[in-house]
Amino acid sequence: MGSQPDIVAELYRQSLPRLGSYAFLLTGNYAEAEELVQAAIVKVCSRPRRLTNVPQAEAYVRAAIRTIHIDGLRRQARWSRVKLSLAMPDAVAESSADLAAADEVARALATLAPRVRTVIAMYYWEDLAVADIAAAMAISEGTVKGYLRDGREALAPLLGATESGDDEDGERIAVAEVAS
Quick: pLDDT tens for 152-177.
Answer: 998 888 776 655 544 444 444 444 44
pLDDT at residue 79, as a whole number: 66
Question: What sign does the CA torsion over 57, 62, 67, 69 have?
Answer: positive
pLDDT at residue 179, as a whole number: 41
pLDDT at residue 147, as a whole number: 95
Separation between Cα atoms, residue 68 and residue 154, nearest integer Å? 26
Q: pLDDT band at 103, cuts 50/70/90?
A: low
Question: What sign does the CA torsion over 159, 153, 28, 176 have?
Answer: negative
User: What's the half-sphere exposure (Cβ side, CA atoms, 13 Å) at 53?
Assistant: 2
Over residues 59-82, mean pLDDT: 84
pLDDT at residue 19, as a whole number: 93
pLDDT at residue 81, as a whole number: 60
Over residues 100-120, mean pLDDT: 78
Quick: pLDDT tens for 75-94.
Answer: 877 666 655 544 444 444 44
pLDDT at residue 165, as a whole number: 47
Q: Which residues pair with 167 in a beta bridge?
A: 161
Where are the domains positioned within the chain?
A: 1-96, 103-180
Separation between Cα atoms, residue 174 and residue 180, nearest integer Å? 10
Lowest mean pLDDT among 38-42, 96-100, 136-140, 159-163: 96-100
Mean of all residue pLDDT scores within the chain? 78
The answer, yes or no, to whether residue 118 has pLDDT greater than 70, is yes
pTM confidence score:
0.53
SS3 of the chain: the string is CCCHHHHHHHHHHHHHHHHHHHHHHHHCCHHHHHHHHHHHHHHHHCCCCCCCCHHHHHHHHHHHHHHHHHHHHHHHHHHHHHHCCCCCCCCCCCHHHHHHCCCHHHHHHHCCCHHHHHHHHHHHHCCCCHHHHHHHHCCCHHHHHHHHHHHHHHHHHHCCECCCCEECCCCECCHHHHHC
Q: Does domain 103-180 have CATH number 3.40.50.300?
A: no
pLDDT at residue 174, as a whole number: 47
Lowest mean pLDDT among 21-25, 59-63, 102-106, 161-165: 161-165
pLDDT at residue 172, as a whole number: 40
Q: Which residues pair with 166 in a beta bridge?
A: 172
Over residues 38-56, mean pLDDT: 86
